[in-house]
């Protein structure tokens, strides 16, 4: 992880440059831009603002996807209420009001100054990712008319397939620009510290991801994916991971900590609920990542059992559902309300009130939010604990690339899918476990030495048994296992898992919504209220059933099956 020195740029930002962006209060998440001068200062400031807004966008959109596929917890009883139009105003504003507007200004400055092709290349990559993500969530979105109020005060939405094609073209252009050896580096590069070979790998990886999404509607997607994969010039190792790194600084002006840390490590306790499905699934599978993802504040969840097998009493005040029977539409094996061993979360679609349980709920752990490592201390969460919030927003990781390789191999009938799954799990688990050192108070001895860190033997057994089950299973079993590993590895950013679920319909073992009739699954989001209510050229969707162009699976209800 990068060490982020923020003071110099923060002072520069306060000197008075007016951005089109609405929110610039935490642009402290940056390094000292040694290259900022009177000549290029405005361009570098724009680049800083765009990079920070991009991290916010990726984090917020990833939270939407996570809630839909049970990587996060969906806190409304049905899908329409959970994703009302007002809920995505923030993400839309980050893209269109902040980033895309700033990108126009930044590129104009870059063109005026010599040797700024790498700046433009980075802008192309970030815009392409943003456009691909907007299509994945909304379908048709504006591309050709926004940020031109004089000619298009109320921009139309472009066809989603056309936006995808334009984004891919941007990535091709970016690769060429990033390879310009005569171009100077960015003043501040939060992501790759001006290693433009890594930016090229990212651009190739985003192209591969787009081809994975379009494999159901484009007969050439597989060959285009393989052409890049065969070069090896994509994100394949952790050193190339695309992520945004936070810091521990907090004062009256700034808060540079991970957003999930900010929400859970407070004087008043944890404020977020975690997904019962994910915690239960990882617990039952003995997933080595569970103590890194989640931090328990108590040893016993009401109406369950603790690690010693002792029965935990019900607690109707703090966990009302602990006194309730399992919903009749839940299969007998499906977790409901109470996860064993003190994992205290909520079910998919449980939208009840907020009881006095903030010092009981399971909190975010040391990965990726830099909270506490779970070493059975069961202390209440509080300020400045664990890694202090100096975690990451994962945006595209090497393990995810290997999961893509596994999916495309499985889709093509290749026998290499299991090998790719093995690589993905090895890389994911190693990265997650490396975060343990962020918590200086944690007991990081291995389980063989009386600690709580899984031994290499435990990790290898988990991976080898999973891969063996995958290799020995039928097609449905393979897609199911790949789906579970896909969702688990994407903890911290659920966007790609939301896409996987719509592409494949797996995993089918996801926890059902508590409400037996939650409405059809979200195949695309409503347009944000701020846009639909003010722009007559973008009419609001009638429902969330609309399928984007690459989703040619059967309509809902019926698909996906775990609704």
pLDDT band at 351 (very low <50, low <70, confident <90, very high): confident
| Helices of type H across 214-251 | 221-229
Band the pLDDT of 437: cuts 50, 70, 90.
very high
Residues 361 and 264: their CA atoms lie apart, in Å, by 10
The b-or-e profile of 195-208 (16+ CB within 10 A means b, else e) is: ebebbbbbbbbbbb
**pTM here?**
0.93
Average of per-residue pLDDT across 362-383: 98
Q: Cα separation of 62 and 498, whole Å?
A: 9
Answer whether 393's CB lies under 8 Å from 243's CB: yes
Residues in the chain, overall count: 563
Predicted local distance difference test score (pLDDT) of residue 41: 58
Identify the pLDDT of residue 15: 33
Residue 308's contacts (CB-CB under 8 Å, 6 or more residues apart) are none
State the DSSP string of 244-264. EE----BSSS-B-S-HHHHHH
* Residue 22: per-residue pLDDT: 33
pLDDT above 90 for 138: yes
d(CA 15, CA 351): 45
Instruction: Please give the average per-residue pLDDT across 355-367, as a whole number.
Output: 98
Residue 148: pLDDT band by 50, 70, 90 thresholds?
confident
Mean pLDDT, the chain, whole residue set: 93
Is the model's pLDDT at 245 over the cut of 80?
yes
Determine the pLDDT at residue 150. Answer: 83
CA atoms within 13 A on the CB side of 512: 16
Spatial separation of the C-alpha atoms in residues 108 and 439, rounded to whole Å? 44
State percent of the chain over pLDDT 70: 93
Residue of higher predicted confidence among 22 and 486: 486
In Å, how far are 54, 248, 250 from 271, measured between CA atoms? Answer: 25, 19, 19
| First-last CA distance in the chain | 38
Say what the pLDDT of residue 563 is. 86
Cα atoms in the 13 Å half-sphere on the side-chain side of 189: 19
Integer Cα distance of 300 and 433 in angstroms: 25
Q: What is the mean pLDDT of residues 243-264?
A: 95
pLDDT the model gives residue 66: 98
Q: Where are the alpha helices (DSSP H) in 449-521?
A: 456-472, 475-489, 495-504
**Average pLDDT in the 380-397 region?**
98
State residue 293's pLDDT score: 99
Six token digits for residue 554: 């059967």
* pLDDT tens for each residue of 272-325: 999 999 999 999 999 999 999 999 999 999 999 999 999 999 999 999 999 999
> What DSSP state is assigned to residue 363?
E
């Amino acid at each position: 992880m990068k060490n982020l020195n923020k003071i110099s740029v923060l002072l520069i930002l306060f000197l008075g440059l007016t951005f089109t962006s609405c929110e610039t209060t935490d642009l402290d998440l940056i390094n000292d831009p040694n290259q900022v001068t009177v000549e290029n200062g405005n361009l570098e400031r724009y680049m800083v603002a765009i990079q920070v807004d991009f991290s916010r966008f990726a984090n917020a959109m990833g939270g939407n996807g996570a809630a839909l596929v049970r990587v996060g917890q969906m806190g409304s009883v049905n899908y329409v209420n959970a994703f009302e139009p007002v809920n995505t105003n923030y993400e839309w504003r980050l893209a269109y009001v902040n980033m895309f507007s700033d990108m126009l200004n930044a590129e104009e400055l870059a063109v005026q100054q010599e040797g700024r092709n790498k700046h433009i290349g980075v802008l192309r990559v970030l815009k392409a990712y943003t456009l691909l993500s907007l299509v994945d969530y909304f379908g048709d979105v504006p591309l050709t008319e926004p940020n031109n109020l004089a000619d298009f005060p109320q921009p139309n939405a472009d066809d989603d397939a056309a936006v995808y094609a334009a984004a891919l073209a941007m990535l091709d252009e970016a690769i060429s620009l990033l390879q310009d050896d005569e171009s100077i580096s960015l003043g501040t590069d939060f992501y790759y510290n001006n290693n433009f070979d890594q930016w090229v790998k990212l651009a190739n990886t985003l192209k591969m991801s787009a081809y994975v999404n379009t494999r159901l509607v484009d007969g050439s997607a597989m060959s285009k994916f393989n052409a890049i994969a065969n070069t090896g010039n994509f994100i394949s190792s952790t050193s190339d991971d695309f992520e945004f790194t936070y810091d521990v600084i907090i004062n009256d002006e700034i808060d540079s900590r991970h957003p999930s840390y900010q929400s859970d490590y407070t004087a008043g306790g944890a404020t977020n609920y975690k997904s019962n499905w994910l915690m239960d699934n990882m617990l039952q599978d003995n997933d080595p990542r569970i103590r890194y993802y989640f931090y328990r504040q108590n040893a016993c969840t009401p109406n369950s059992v603790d690690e010693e097998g002792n029965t935990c009493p019900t607690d109707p005040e703090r966990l009302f559902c602990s006194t309730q029977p399992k919903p009749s539409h839940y299969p007998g094996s499906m977790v409901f309300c109470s996860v064993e061993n003190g994992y205290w979360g909520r079910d998919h679609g449980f939208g009840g009130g907020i009881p006095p349980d903030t010092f009981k709920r399971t909190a975010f752990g040391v990965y990726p939010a830099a909270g506490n490592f779970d070493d059975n201390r069961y202390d209440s969460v509080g300020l400045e604990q664990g890694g202090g919030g100096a975690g990451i927003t994962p945006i595209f990781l090497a393990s995810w690339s290997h999961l893509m390789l596994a999916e495309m191999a499985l889709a093509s009938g290749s026998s290499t899918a299991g090998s790719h799954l093995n690589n993905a799990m090895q890389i994911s688990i190693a990265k997650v476990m490396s975060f343990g050192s962020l918590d200086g108070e944690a007991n990081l001895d291995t389980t063989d030495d009386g600690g709580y860190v899984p031994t290499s033997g435990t990790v290898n057994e988990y991976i080898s048994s999973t891969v063996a089950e995958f290799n020995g299973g039928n097609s449905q079993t393979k897609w199911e296992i790949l789906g579970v590993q896909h969702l688990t590895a994407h903890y911290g950013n659920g966007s790609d898992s939301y896409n996987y679920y719509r592409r494949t319909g797996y995993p089918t073992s996801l926890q059902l919504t508590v409400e037996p009739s939650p409405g059809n699954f979200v195949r695309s989001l409503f347009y944000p209220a701020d846009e639909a209510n003010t722009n007559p050229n973008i009419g609001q969707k009638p429902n969330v059933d609309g399928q984007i162009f690459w989703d040619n699976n059967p309509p809902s209800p019926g698909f996906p099956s775990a609704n």
